[in-house]
Amino acid sequence: MGLPPMLNALQGRFFILPAIAFLAGIIAHLGFAPYDQQWAVPVSLIALFALLHHHKVNSVGTAFGLGLAFGCGLFLAGLRWVHVSLDIFGGLPLIVTLILMLLLALYLALYPALACYLFIKYRQPQWPLFNVLLFTSAWLVTEYLRGIVLTGFPWLSLGYSQTTGLYSSAASVIGMLGLSAIICLLSTLAFYTIKRHLKSAVLLIIVAFGSFSLTSQHQLIEQDRSVNLALIQGNIEQSAKWDAKAMWPTITRYMDLSREHFDSDVIIWPEAAMPAVEGWVQDYLKLMDSAAAFNDSAIITGIIGRTSKKNIAPNLAAKPPSSINHDYFNAIMTVGNATDSRNIGGIYQPSHDNRYYKHQLLPIGEFVPLQSLLRPLAPLFNLPMSSFARGDWAQNNLTARGFKFSPAICYEIAFGDLVRANMKSDTDFLLTISNDAWFGESIGPHQHMQIAQMRAVELGRPLIRVTNTGVTAIVDQYGKIVNKLPQFKEAVLRANVKTVTGETFFYRHGQTPFVILFGCLLGICMLAGHRQNRLTQKLATINDGYSLTKD
């Protein structure tokens, strides 16, 4: 075999198709914030589905490679903001951060690769609608697994690209994962429609128009009751966030920004706005409590909580406060007036329960797996406040001036089941506080905001988002941003937000029935595909035997 034919073979088999899949993945990330090109994800998925039907894609290994290439394109482009935190705050050389980014993308790309593997293994060329269901269920199940395996990383799930799109209201019934299913169905049916398959064309129209009308938002009722909010964006640089010398200047800045807004019902500070362990600043918290209560207001702030561990041996418990005998939590707490009647006495006590401890911790940033091995390796594994304990899965709402806030801290807002578990039927608002200064002027904070908007749609409640550097915003119960502050600016957002009653279908039932449905559908498709493949092989063997006998 000469060199030119060999090059042509390599180019055709190992370069062109994966390159197209990789490019399709890059295009797909344009469907997410801040670009919001909602056509990008369906078009990219059609391209991937077309590649899986290419005549050279006749093995599960090739299909797996195409899915891996697509995923790498999506996650390298869409998660490039991770490099900012690794490079600037992780203390690692550039080459190391690039390798870590590649490893992260490769890991996340395993899930679309698995979906493509399952599709090729069990597809039936003569059954287009079977293939539609097989691909959709495989993608949905693997996307769900990506959100739970190894603590989960559900970022850039396809459904988020439709947060404010034509089908966004459907999330009130089927959630974000359901929007991913709609995208998969529309994309695969569109491919077969282009191939002139009549039944696919009919189903494409049914799914397109049926999904558009799918909603339970009519069950939501806006009330006359409203809360007067002041959202404080301090714009503290990340380099100073955990500097001991900057602790009091940071707290003072937030209090100075709040002082002239005590006429509001509730003042909200972002994640770790008080960058101190609660025990260090108890006297100041009592002053904040008294000042807010005197003005018939309340302050909700992020802080570092600390509790004593139980069943500690006396010789250890006698030591000074440390992680040996105390648990530390990324926390939110309320001080001031918790009720709708005036109470100048305040509520703050070191053990008061008007607080929330973060449950879904960020790997490396808030806890280090295998820390005895990893911490000595690099500054990345010794970031400030990277040894937090985990709060309970479901906790009480925060109360402030008689209003109930269902909290989520930073990364938690990406976990729909967790946010739903902490919302109650009488919750007035969803609240998420964050510190996205880690990600600088990248696309990360915008994607984070988009994810928060999806939770508002799913659960049918206005959402309040307060961050250190932005995006600080107010989102209505339909997922639309109604007011926000510019990024990287010290500012206060004042707004009156009305309460909403009623329950969405998603709040009542969650995504579990949906996951079970598509899990069962995938199992049925795999079983049917396996049996059909065995039958096809038997028929091929019989035909081969017949041909040999005849010859």
3-state SS record for 306-363: EEECCCCCHHHHCCCCCCCCEEEEEEEEEEECCCCCCCCCCCCCCCCCCEEECCCCCE
Which amino acid is present at 86?
L
How far from each other are the two terminal CA atoms of the chain, in whole angstroms?
A: 33
- In 3-state terms, what secondary structure has residue 466? strand
Q: Which residues are catalytic?
A: 271, 358, 410
Q: What is the token pair recorded at 449?
A: 């905001």
Cβ atoms of 304 and 256 within 8 Å: the answer is: no
> Judging by DSSP bridges, how do beta strands 403-409 and 398-400 pair with one another?
antiparallel
Q: How far apart are CA 155 and CA 135, in angstroms?
A: 21
| Burial tier of 107 (Cβ tally within 10 Å: 0-12, 13-18, 19+) | middle
Q: Could you tell me how far CA 376 lies from the centroid of its own chain?
A: 30
3-state SS record for 264-302: CCEEECCCCCCCCEHHHCHHHHHHHHHHHHHCCCEEEEE
| Burial tier of 113 (Cβ tally within 10 Å: 0-12, 13-18, 19+) | buried
Cα separations (Å) of 85 from 82, 94, 380? 6, 12, 10
Q: What is the token pair recorded at 420?
A: 């739903």
**Residue 367 DSSP class:** B
Cα dihedral 540/521/50/63 (nearest 10): -70
Cα separations (Å) of 232 from 16, 259, 354? 51, 11, 20
The sheet with strand 491-501 has its strands ordered as 355-357, 326-336, 298-308, 266-268, 221-233, 491-501
Q: Give the angle subtended at the CA of 494 by the CAs of 491 and 495, to the nearest 5°.
A: 145
- Burial 50-80, CB ≥16 within 10 A → b, else e: bbbeeeebeeeebbbbbbbbbbbbbbbbbbe
Q: Is the peptide bond before 34 cis (omega within 30 degrees of 0)?
A: yes
Q: How far apart are CA 288 and CA 271, in angstroms?
A: 17
| Burial tier of 541 (Cβ tally within 10 Å: 0-12, 13-18, 19+) | exposed
Q: Give the angle subtended at the CA of 278 by the CAs of 274 and 281, to the nearest 5°.
A: 75
Which amino acid is present at 513?
P
